[in-house]
Amino acid sequence: MSGPNPAAPPLTLNRLSVYLRCLRQLEREGVARVSSRQLADRFHLSSAQIRKDLAHFGEFGVRGVGYEVSSLAGRLHSLLDLDQRHRLVIVGMGNLGSALARYFGFNDDSFEVVAGVDSSPGRVGERVASVLIEPFSELVRVVRDSAAEIGVITVPAEAAEAAYQGLLEAGVRAILNFAPVQLQERPGVRLKNVDMRIHLEEMSYFLGLP
């Protein structure tokens, strides 16, 4: 009964991505219908949680029957706004930035890396997987010209704050930060941190347990 809603819990949202992927897999296998239980068993999820998560956004299934795979996948796809193509700019085209340029650019029609910027003059002009490297100083112009909405920060820690300010100034609306630095969230700009060292240190902690 809930209408299409204002803002969903981030964890629910992340699981939606997971469900979508699982459904695509089933689609490839030619499965037409699936129950929350089957989904859960097959992909190590929780059936109650699948239903609750979906309930945030409406009704997608048929009682007594289950979900139609393609149709549910399609609706999750739209829900996540993946019908739109989103453009990314990568700030910092070192190892990680370059790897991501190749990784994101590939085989996906919802996301496209349209540019990379780097502060080291030696790299400017180079292309990484069709992504042209431009000078960091040109960030604002690059974002404007390419209409990029998402910024990716892959610079060393010392340069992260400047990269962040640059992206804010350039007007991107979402930022994925790989630098190990605490950035201050701004209203209207989605900030998400991906911190490899935190993951490693969590594992380290568990390795050190009795």
Of the ranges 20-28, 50-58, 91-99, 198-206, which one interacts with DNA (CB under 7 A)? 50-58
Q: Do 75 and 60 touch, CB atoms closer than 8 A?
A: yes
Q: Which of a second copy, DNA, none does residue 111 bind to, with CB < 5 to 8 Å depending on kind?
A: a second copy
Q: Rule CB under 7 A: say whether 193 interacts with DNA.
A: no
Q: Rule CB under 7 A: say whether 74 interacts with DNA.
A: no
Q: Which of a second copy, DNA, none does residue 18 bind to, with CB < 5 to 8 Å depending on kind?
A: a second copy
> Which residue of 47, 70, 119, 193 would you call a contact of DNA, by CB under 7 A?
47
Q: Please tell me whether residue 115 adopts helix, strand or coil conformation.
A: strand
Taking the alpha carbons at both ends of the chain, their separation in whole angstroms is 49
Interaction residues for a second copy, span 127-186 (CB under 8 A): 149-150, 173-174, 176, 180, 182-185
> Backbone phi, then psi, for 149, in 5-degree steps?
-110, -20
User: 47, exposed or middle or buried, with CB in 10 Å at 0-12, 13-18, 19+?
Assistant: middle
Mark 105-121 as b/e (b = at least 16 C-beta within 10 Å): beeeeeebbbbbbbbee
Residue 158's H or E segment, with its range, is helix 157-170
- How many residues would you count in the chain? 210
Q: Rule CB under 8 A: say whether 199 interacts with a second copy.
A: yes
Interface residues toward DNA, by CB under 7 A: 1-2, 9-12, 34-37, 46-49, 51-52, 54-55, 59-67
Site residues, a second copy (CB under 8 A): 6-8, 10, 13-14, 16-18, 20-22, 43-45, 79-82, 84, 86, 95-96, 98-100, 102-104, 110-111, 149-150, 173-174, 176, 180, 182-185, 190, 192, 194-210
